Structure 1
Amino acid sequence: MATQTLPNSSAAAVEGPTPTPAGALELIEAANLISAANRAYAVLAAAAFVAGCFLLCGLVATWRAGRHVIWLDRLLWAFCGLQLLLLLFSLYNVVHRPYSLRTAALGCAALSFAINTTSTCGLLVLALMAYSLALDPPSDGFLRRPGICVALVVLTSICITLLLDGLRGPSDGFRRETDCFMDPVHAGVSYAVAKLCLAFLMPYGLQLALLICGCVRQKQSNRRFLSGSEQGPVLLAFGATLLFCHLFYAAALVRAARLQARGELSHRQRAFVSVAELVFFAGSCACLTLVPLVHRPSRKKLAGQFGRAADLCPRPARAQPSRNIITPHIEITDTLQDIES
């Protein structure tokens, strides 16, 4: 009965003799932890998917209306599109839990490459938003051209991901079936530390440096920085949310890699890495959910949609409040001339 609830990633790690009752109990606790985290993430992912569809419909409506979209809004739409793509990539994690996706090593490497590249692209787009808000470049500036920005962001992300794949090393066999993870723990401590520095700390350090430059630049100016722009609160909310989720995942990955190198990685700690992977994807879901709440134009569109929906719903008749209405009273009196006549 217990073997039916064990994750195959954990069961695969136990080779040879049958696990002891204490080990089987630890496997069951690990599977229960992953299942509980998966249910919570599924609720958040559903809300984020609805918010992403709402933003996509707003973008289509803006494009069909032929209205001009400012540069910061274009970056915001690009960032939301990348986070929605990450949400779709995370479905491999949701569908198979508490088990792991088993596929060929080549397919797992391709999935990991796509996830890491998309995540890095999103962080670099946030850095472009920080650059536009902090330094206010001219409209014909070098980093205000869409083609140059797309090429720079995509090529930089691909180079970082390829460097990480090189540190992870080649697989034993590309056709061999294996448990698929975004970042395998057995890749080593060097891979985990390199991902922490290149894919997380470098983009966030760039954003922080740009924000500090913007604060210094606007210190003597009367114009408010960040709070005076519609995209300012959005940038701060996105940056803080993703920083917490990504650092949590990166710290869990580094710790698990060190334990794996010493041979001390337990099933419970392996399950904690799986939960941390869900926290990584939860950052993208939280950003999509925050856009209709923090971005003022999106919030107005959402309020308008709710208002139109409320107008279509029938309202129950309400009792009219009692009013003290004075009825006009006409009194006809006979005058003395009428009586004499």
Structure 2
Amino acid sequence: MSFLQTSPRPTDGNTTLVSISTFINNSTSTSTFGPNSITSTANYVYSFLSTFGLVAACFLGYGFVLSFKAQRRVAWLDCLICAFCVLQLLLLLLSLYAVAHRSHNLKTTGLGCAAFSFTINTVFTSSLLVLVLLAYVLSMDPPSHALLRKPGICTILVLLFSLLISLMLAGIGGPRQKKRCFMDPVCLPYAVAKLLLVILVPYIIQTALLIAGCVRQWKTRGRFLSGSEEGPVFVTVSLILFICGLFYSVALMRAAMLEKERQQLSPKEEAFLNVFEFVFFLGSSISLVLVLLLHRPCRETLKAVMRQMQDCCKKPRQAQPNRNIIAPTIELSDTLQDMEP
């Protein structure tokens, strides 16, 4: 009897098998839909898509250099588009830094995290202010001696307002702690301020300028979006950046509200916040590609480079010995003897 009592029961083996299978199922589901899996998948997808933006930036840089060499005085609209592309390239490079360190949770000091966020806000706000200048020139068509058509004054104004907005956001966000660093602090006042100052205010100004341009066209029967080539580029790029920025700002506000309720985000919610950051940065890559495809000088440069690459890749035709016959040439020369009668 003692032996029967100490021997394992059949149900114990079934219970052990059930527990092992449950553990395997849980681990499989965690590895498939867990935070690390979501973050790594977003890293791979964004890294692949960002390469298109980098390639487009190379072609854009080559095209702008050629146009600057060919023309001593470049049009003001082209200068604004070039400045916008440079800012979007900087934003794309900053995003690649985040991608490279995201697998290690982007751990840094509080000062380093604040500087990272401040730099991104400054660059992104500067690019939106350049779009505001572009909307002003396209809709109002100011004269060449206007104040907002001088490069030095425009550069000072864009940098000044961008730094002021970024400093205000840094003050609202407060000091950053030494923990996992996101692009922006998960704070509800900060999220609301960023939505208003960085996203809504520049686009409200752009919308007001476009409406004023419509009214101006209706009164004077002039051309709306005076640069016919730059108009579609401005509208498309501005719309893409607005969608990406608004989507990220709303996601940041939602994460801040959840953290305020529960004092801490879950690992899966933090992973999805990383995905929303990549969506925000994806607007820069898409913008560079769209400028390359829609802007006529850049598009012509791309076609010329593709033609050169096709010519270089063509195989030289094989020599045909039957047709390599040198045609005889007859040279006629007049001498003094021929000229004499």
TM-score normalised by the chain length of structure 1 = 0.80
TM-fit CA distance, 1:262: 0.2
Residue aligned with 1:299, SS: helix
**Contact kept in structure 1, 2:217 and 2:223, CA below 8 Å:** yes
1:61 aligned residue: 66
1:170 to 161, 168, 175: 175
State the alpha-carbon separation in 1 of the partners of residues 42 and 214 from structure 2. 39
The equivalent residue for 1:303 is 303
Contact 1:27–1:268, Cα closer than 8 Å, also in 2: no
Secondary structure of 1:249's counterpart equals: helix
CA displacement at 1:254 relative to structure 2: 0.2
Quote how far apart the aligned CAs of 1:148 are. Answer: 0.7
User: Rg larger in 1 or in 2?
Assistant: 2
Structure-to-structure mapping, 1:1-341, within 5 angstroms:
25=30, 29-171=34-176, 177-185=178-186, 188-226=187-225, 229-263=228-262, 265-314=265-314
* CA RMSD in angstroms, aligned pairs only: 2.2
- Is contact 2:91–2:284 with CA below 8 Å preserved after alignment? yes
Equivalence for 2:6: none
Q: In 2, distance between residues paired with 1:27 and 1:215? A: 52
**Distance apart, 1:313 and its partner CA:** 2.5
Shift of 1:39: 1.2
Distance 1:245 1:113 in 2: 19
Code of the aligned partner of 1:178: K
The Cα of 1:45 is off from its aligned counterpart by 1.0
Unaligned runs of 5+ in 2: 1-25, 318-341
Q: What is the CA distance between 1:101 and its match in structure 2?
A: 1.1
C-alpha offsets along residues 89-123 of structure 1, whole Å, 9 cap, x if unaligned? 11222112344211111111111111100000000
Post-superposition shift, 1:70? 0.3
TM-fit CA distance, 1:222? 4.7
Q: CA deviation at 1:223?
A: 4.3
Q: In 1, are the aligned partners of 2:113 and 2:176 still within 8 Å (CA)?
A: no
SS of residue matched to 2:107: strand
Give the Cα–Cα distance (whole angstroms) in 1 for the partners of residues 226 and 312 of structure 2: 36
Q: Percent identity?
A: 50
Distance 1:183 1:302 in 2: 37
After superposition, the C-alpha distances for 1:306-328 in whole angstroms (9 at most, x for unaligned) are 122222232587xxxxxxxxxxx
Q: CA deviation at 1:216?
A: 1.4
Residues 141, 226 of structure 2: 8 Å contact kept = no
Shift of 1:37: 1.6
Q: Is 1:256–1:265's contact at 8 Å kept on the other side of the alignment?
A: yes
How does the TM-score come out when normalised to structure 2? 0.80
For structure 1, the residue ranges without an aligned partner over 5 or more in a row are: 1-20, 318-341
C-alpha separation in 2, matches of 1:279 and 1:267: 19
SS of equivalent to 2:218: coil
- Which whole-Å CA distance do the structure 1 matches of 2:252 and 2:269 have between them? 10
Q: Deviations over 1:197-220 (max 9, x none)?
A: 011111111111111111111124
Alignment check: 8 A CA contact 2:64 2:298 kept: no
Higher helix proportion: 2
Instruction: Give the CA deviation at 1:255.
Output: 0.4
Deviations 1:61-104 (A, max 9, x none): 23333432100000000000000000111122211234421111
Contact 1:245 1:283 in 2 (8 A): yes
Give the match's secondary structure for 2:127.
Answer: helix
Post-superposition shift, 1:265?
3.3
- How far apart, in 1, do the equivalents of 2:226 and 2:300 lie? 18
Q: Deviations over 1:222-265 (max 9, x none)?
A: 54423861100000111110011000000000000000000173
Q: Report if the CA contact (8 A) 2:110-2:175 is conserved.
A: no
SS in 2 for 1:183: coil
Distance 1:267 1:313 in 2: 50
CA distance in 2, matches of 1:27, 1:300: 45
Contact kept? 1:227, 1:233, Cα under 8 Å: no
- Aligned CA distance change for structure 1 residues 26 and 310 (closer, same or farther; 3 Å): closer
Deviates more, 1:41-50 or 1:64-73: 64-73
Asked whether the 8 Å contact 1:78–1:125 carries over to 2, the reply is yes
Q: How many residues align?
A: 291
Query: Which deviates more from structure 2 when the two are superposed, residues 287-296 or residues 125-134?
Result: 287-296
Instruction: Tell me which residue corresponds to 2:14.
Output: none
Question: Does the 8 A contact of 2:188 with 2:256 survive in 1?
Answer: yes
> 2:131·2:234 contact (CA, 8 Å) conserved in 1?
yes
